[in-house]
């Protein structure tokens, strides 16, 4: 098991903060796909912090505030200064109306999420988050889900303008006042990362699913731009919703849905190359994601303390350089992609 002293940390852009190379993502603590009891959920977050993971990533969206509430309990059991706390804006919770849709969250609080990227809506969201988390400051604050995946092609331009005119102005003010150390965005599309990076001054960006062992659309434009501008990249979804963790089994998930045949086939080829080198597929996926110099941390979710321990254990596994060479030779990996050394 990786000890706290052995878990490396990387700088988070210009914030002065450093994050463990493995972060703890708390969407599962909002009852994503599976209802968790409080004891198990909070124990997972506590175990992550105990083992030296200092980056705790949450959002009001995760269970309509439930994830933040559970994270707040875990935070009260440690020294606040030892944790880099990341949460998001873009939704505030209306406690007087029940949710209309769950978006994959099968449990959560009985509060309706109101999508709102305005200045006032952002300030309301931040205030609610501080109360749920039981803290007086947030280290990283991200504008959440301004992407086509969430809002559709017809609405994305309006959402982007609203976010830059409202949420960005609010976050920039909170950064200048020291309420937050760094600001950024959290999205599922590399193209939106580029747009935001060109439109404002951001410290960090959390990109889910678009830079992984399976696909690297962020490689050509966003990753070089992040390096140039000093933006720390946090990678989520490095298992592409599960298929790089489970392999190409029946019912394997890709982009939150059942994986199509072409994805199952490609993952099977990647898995065969990994097996030839004696490396488990999820271990290769984790190590590859950490190989790019723009990446500060890979944020992995966990439903239990045991899952957290397994994720950390994967970091201790040696991955031979020949694995990356063979994947590139088989055209299963972009030949320009940096790999761990």
Copy the structure tokens of residue 99. 């949710």
Residue 281 lies in a domain: yes
Query: Residue 6: its pLDDT value, please?
Result: 67
Does 195 fall in a domain?
yes
Residues facing residue 84 across a β-bridge: 55
Q: What is the pLDDT of residue 33?
A: 84
Question: Quick check: is 103 in a domain?
Answer: yes
Residue 339 lies in a domain: no
Structural domain includes residue 341: no
Q: Is residue 290 one of the residues assigned to a domain?
A: yes
CA-CA distance, 232 to 295, in Å (whole number)? 6
What is the pLDDT, as a whole number, of residue 102?
Answer: 63
User: Which residue range forms the structural domain that includes residue 97?
Assistant: 4-329
Based on the structure, what is the number of domains in the chain?
Answer: 1
Q: What CATH number did the domain enclosing 143 receive? A: 3.20.20.100
* Main-chain phi, psi angles of 160, to 5 degrees: -65, -45
pTM higher than 0.75:
yes
Residues forming the active site: 57, 62, 88
- Assess if residue 338 is contained within a domain: no
The 10s digit of each residue's pLDDT in 60-76 is: 999 999 999 999 999 99
pLDDT tens digits for 153-167?
Answer: 999 999 999 999 999
Q: Confirm whether 334 is domain-assigned.
A: no
The predicted structure's pLDDT at residue 60: 98
């Amino acid at each position: 098991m990786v000890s706290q002293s052995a878990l490396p940390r990387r700088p988070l852009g210009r914030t002065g903060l450093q994050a463990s190379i493995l972060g703890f993502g708390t969407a599962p603590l909002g009852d994503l796909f599976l209802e968790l009891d409080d004891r198990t959920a909070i124990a997972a977050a506590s175990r992550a912090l105990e083992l030296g993971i200092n980056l705790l990533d949450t959002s009001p969206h995760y269970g309509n505030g439930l994830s933040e509430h559970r994270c707040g309990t875990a935070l009260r059991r440690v020294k606040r200064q030892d944790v880099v706390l990341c949460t998001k804006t873009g939704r505030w919770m209306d406690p007087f109306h029940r949710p209309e849709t769950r978006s994959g969250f099968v449990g959560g609080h009985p509060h309706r999420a109101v999508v709102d990227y305005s200045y006032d809506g952002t300030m309301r969201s931040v205030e609610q988050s501080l109360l749920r988390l039981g803290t007086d400051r947030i280290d990283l604050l991200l504008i959440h889900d301004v992407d086509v995946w969430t809002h559709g092609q017809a609405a994305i331009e309006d959402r982007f303008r609203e976010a830059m005119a409202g949420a960005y102005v609010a976050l920039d003010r909170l950064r200048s006042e020291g309420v937050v150390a760094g600001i950024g965005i959290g999205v599922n599309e590399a193209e939106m990362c580029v747009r935001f990076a060109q439109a404002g001054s951001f410290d960090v960006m959390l990109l889910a699913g678009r830079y992984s062992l399976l696909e690297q659309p962020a490689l050509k434009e966003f990753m070089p731009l992040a390096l140039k501008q000093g933006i720390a990249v946090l990678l989520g979804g490095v298992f592409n919703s599960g298929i790089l963790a489970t392999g190409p089994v029946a019912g394997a998930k890709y982009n939150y849905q059942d994986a199509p045949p072409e994805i199952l086939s490609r993952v099977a080829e990647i898995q065969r190359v990994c097996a030839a080198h004696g490396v488990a597929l999820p271990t290769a996926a984790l190590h590859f994601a950490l190989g790019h110099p723009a990446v500060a941390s890979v944020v992995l979710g966990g439903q239990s303390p045991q899952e957290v321990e397994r994720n950390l254990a994967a970091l201790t596994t040696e991955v031979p350089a020949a694995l990356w060479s063979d994947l590139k030779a088989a055209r299963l990996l972009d030949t320009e992609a940096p790999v761990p050394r």
